[in-house]
Chain A
Amino acid sequence: MFRLDGKVALVTGASGGIGREIVRALHAQGATVVLSGTRQAVLEEVAASIGAEGGAERLHVCPADLSDATAADALVAAAEEKAGAPLAILVNNAGLTRDTLAIRMKDEDWSRVLDVDLAAPFRLCRSALKGMLRRRAGRIINIASVVGVTGNAGQANYAAAKAGMIGMGKSLAQEAGSRGVTVNTLAPGFIQTAMTDVLPEAQKEKLVGSIPLGRMGQPGDIAPAVVYLASDEAGWVTGATLHVNGGMAMI
């Protein structure tokens, strides 16, 4: 079950904590994976470390700065070129935060987060869908966040982008359904990564206290859910938001 042999996947934000585990998991299921991110050297390191266990020829690196609209528009074609086959799976995982209370939030903090976390995923979905609709097959998995549903003080921009991603995914799912293309959202809770390492210790303790499963998530808690949504077996799941958050928010 859940094999992805012969399928090409593009994962953005592949050098981040969650991203690299997603790459590892898709690759382990047999997929050819194109890693995208802004830092070429780090992407190559990730690819080399995963490839060292075998299947290095199924890993490709394709850097892109997603805050640049032209680069985002060109990424799917570039990834297909690298992989030498059309894209079957798109994982929009790249994201950044610019946390601050709204009254101190600058326009730049707002627009940068919205650009990278929402507009870029839309651009990638748009270019991936063109081919997927024609081929009558495809899986799009957008990595949102629990805060897109619950909100979070200090993250008006990030929560807005992630909530937007959920609404966008549902719309795309309706547009693409008749062609057998699924679009789903995965909403991680608080995962131990560089993004959450910056939170103050006291806030982290408080967060863990609100998680029934009693711990922060690990990147490896998210990746298997991506594999499921990417698989043929998930062919009747679309427009869904899969929450993987240790029970912190049961929605």
Chain B
Amino acid sequence: MSEIADKVKKIVVEHLGVDESKVTPDASFIDDLGADSLDTVELVMAFEEAFSVEIPEDAAEKITTVKDAIDYIEKQKAA
């Protein structure tokens, strides 16, 4: 797993207080990890801060799973 993926996972575990084993790539923040809409916004903000990237509103809306977040950040970092 990439460094970015590790860090994303860690942020999700910390923020949502869920067990690490549940944070699989396909896990949906809301459906699988018990997040509410405010959690998802806070997660995106935490990603922005941790990775020094800006995630615009329309992109943020599409980040619903752990993999979505990792893919988006990896793409931003590669660009």
A-side interface size class: under 10
The reply to whether A175 and B38 contact each other, CB–CB distance below 8 Å, is yes
Tell yes or no: A225 within 8 A of B by CB.
Answer: no
Does A178 interact with chain B (Cβ within 8 Å)? Answer: yes
CA distance A134 to B17 in the complex (A): 12
Q: Is the interface of A mostly helix, strand, loop or mixed?
A: helix
Query: Distance in Å from the Cβ of A238 to the closest Cβ of chain B?
Result: 15
Contact A133 B42 (CB under 8 A): yes
B66 to chain A, nearest CB (A): 21
- Which residues of the partner chain A approach B45 to less than 8 Å between Cβ atoms? 130
> Nearest chain B CB to A179's CB is how many angstroms away?
7
Q: How far is the CA of A130 from the CA of B38 in the complex (A)?
A: 11
Give the interface centre of B36, B38, B42, B45 by most chain A CB atoms within 10 Å. Answer: B38
With A and B bound together, what is the CA distance between A74 and B45 in angstroms? 18
Number of A-B residue pairs, CB cutoff 8 Å, is 8
Within 8 A of A (CB), among B6-63: 36, 38, 42, 45
Q: Are B42 and A178 in contact (CB under 8 A)?
A: no
| Measured CA separation A134–B15 after assembly (Å) | 9
Contact B38 A134 (CB under 8 A): no
A residues in contact with B38, CB < 8 Å: 133, 175, 178-179
A49 to B4, CA, bound (A): 54
Q: List chain A residues, Cβ under 8 A from B42.
A: 133-134
Shortest C-beta distance, B36 to chain A (Å), equals 6
A residues 166-195 with Cβ under 8 Å of B? Answer: 175, 178-179
CA distance A175 to B38 in the complex (A): 8
Q: Which residues of B contact A179 (CB under 8 A)?
A: 38
For residue A134, which residues in chain B have a CB less than 8 angstroms away from its CB? 42
A178 to B45, CA, bound (A): 18
- 1/0 per position for A125-138, CB-CB distance to B under 8 A? 00000100110000
Chain A residue contacts of B36, Cβ below 8 A:
178
Q: List 6 A-B contacts (CB under 8 A).
A: A130-B45, A133-B38, A133-B42, A134-B42, A178-B36, A178-B38
Q: Please name 6 further chain A to chain B contacts, defined as beta carbons within 8 Å, in addition to the given A178-B36, A179-B38, sorted by A numbering.
A: A130-B45, A133-B38, A133-B42, A134-B42, A175-B38, A178-B38
- The chain B residues found within 8 Å of chain A, CB to CB, are 36, 38, 42, 45
**Chain A contacts to B: CB under 8 angstroms:** 130, 133-134, 175, 178-179
Which 6 A-B pairs give the minimum distances between C-beta atoms? A178-B36, A178-B38, A133-B38, A133-B42, A175-B38, A179-B38
